[in-house]
A = this chain, B = another copy of it.
């Protein structure tokens, strides 16, 4: 394992490539007012929810209304060898949207139609700008839902591009498992289709899965076919307090190992509960907590809940609170939904540097506990939440972005955490993607050979390196 150096900088290397004036003129001729060059619009498209700063915005923003728009914008960019960065709602945490090599942003947020709902087949086809909440609103009347919930109301295009997951993944899988088929504009502007609406296929290379998680570096998704699921007949939620993180984690491990089909199991540490109590005026016990959700038939949900309650009791879990109505469930989950905002508000002007390691579940306690000790030793404030059923958790180190020492401390903690996760057979990113920040970690995780294979694929499919260049790996 090659150890990347710690203390990576939050101001990434910027290599502005040439954006010819005639290219911008050609875009304006083709797109009229849907090609914007106003400073404010460019700046809005040149940042995301990451902590990265000091990157100049893209030279122009094209608001695509349809696949042909995307195809034409990319074809023009290919002709002039100008970088193209797809943009959904801007909720990336890893700098995916930053124009580190200049170029243009192609905003697909107006491509926000649900194109077809196939309730009988449990599939739906959407444009990339549809957000997950919008999708669930539009399919609600069918009795079906799309479970993937990364927290933010992200676009389906962005979620596909980063292989997102979130709280429901422990039962329903990630975007890897839930994208069935794609329409993609390639780096030359050509429109191709991958996959079908069939639930499974052995037809050639799995281009769908190659595109999912490629972070905009191989093409722009313009249609996405997803699996959807029957709304469970019964849903039951619970919170449970534990004497220690270890007890909460061991409860989770035993639950998964017994094959209980739990739909959500989220950890919040005592420190984060304290922030949430302050922020949302809650009176939760300031001990580590698991938030759980069970989906199924009424009898099935009851059985799952009883099994987990028995397991939790063995590890000292107490103060089980149950909720079965939507309102009560929302109340119980308030702490989880507010964790990020509570943390950010606890330190005015701060930004959160979020970690995203994911380890085999048997290693979860080891990985978490050692990393908590390390973080506590620095005195840097943080929040800690985790999709612990999948072995995935997030520290959010709260830093003043102008304080070099805090930045270095956070980077150092993250570095140690990732190296620990890799030693334990895990990954540097469960769901946020590599982006700008984890390139060295990717090399450490998978080795030069695999990264070279990724580069070879990238060079073959995008010979001028125009699709979101400078992300995932250096070329």
Contact = CB atoms under 8 A, between A and B. Distances in A.
A456 B253 CA distance: 43
A201 B362 contact: no
Interface stretch (A6-14, A340-348, A353-361): A353-361
A429 B297 contact: no
A97 to B, nearest CB: 16
Q: Size class of A's contact patch?
A: 35 or more
Query: A193, A358, A391 — which one has the most chain B CB atoms within 10 A of its CB?
Result: A358
Interface in A254-277: 256-259, 261
Interface in A158-216: 162-165, 169, 173-174, 176-177, 186, 190-207, 209-210, 212-214
Contact of A213 (B206, B297, B429): B206
Interface string A446-458: 1101111110110
A121 interface: yes
Query: A165, A200, A218, A360 — which one has the most chain B CB atoms within 10 A of its CB?
Result: A200
B210 A120 contact: no
B202 A431 contact: yes
Query: A176, A196, A230, A257 — which one has the most chain B CB atoms within 10 A of its CB?
Result: A196
Contact of A442 (B204, B362, B472): B204
A361 B121 contact: yes
A338 to B, nearest CB: 25
A257 B460 CA distance: 41
A473 interface: yes
A220 B232 CA distance: 42
Contacts of A438: 203
A300 interface: yes
Contact of A229 (B203, B206, B259): B259
Interface stretch (A241-249, A283-291, A396-404, A420-428): A420-428
A123 B360 contact: yes
Interface in A294-323: 297, 299-300, 303
A422 B195 CA distance: 11
Nearest to A363: B121
A48 interface: no
A434 interface: yes
Interface of A: 118-123, 162-165, 169, 173-174, 176-177, 186, 190-207, 209-210, 212-214, 218, 229-230, 232-233, 253, 256-259, 261, 297, 299-300, 303, 356, 358-363, 390-392, 422, 425-434, 438, 441-442, 445-447, 449-454, 456-457, 459-461, 472-473
Query: A122, A194, A422, A453 — which one has the most chain B CB atoms within 10 A of its CB?
Result: A453
A229 B303 CA distance: 19
A121 B360 contact: yes
A356 B203 CA distance: 10
A209 B438 CA distance: 21
5 contacts: A120-B361, A199-B358, A200-B390, A207-B453, A299-B299
Nearest to A387: B200
A118 B425 CA distance: 11
Contacts of A213: 202, 204-206
A169 to B, nearest CB: 6
B205 A454 contact: yes
Nearest to A194: B450
Contacts of A209: 176, 206, 209-210
A204 B216 CA distance: 11
A449 B200 contact: no
Nearest to A201: B427
A169 B198 CA distance: 13
A171 B439 CA distance: 36
B204 A454 contact: yes
B118 A362 contact: yes
Contacts of A259: 229-230, 232-233
Contacts of A191: 449
Contacts of A214: 205
Given A176-B209, A197-B360, A202 B432 contact: yes
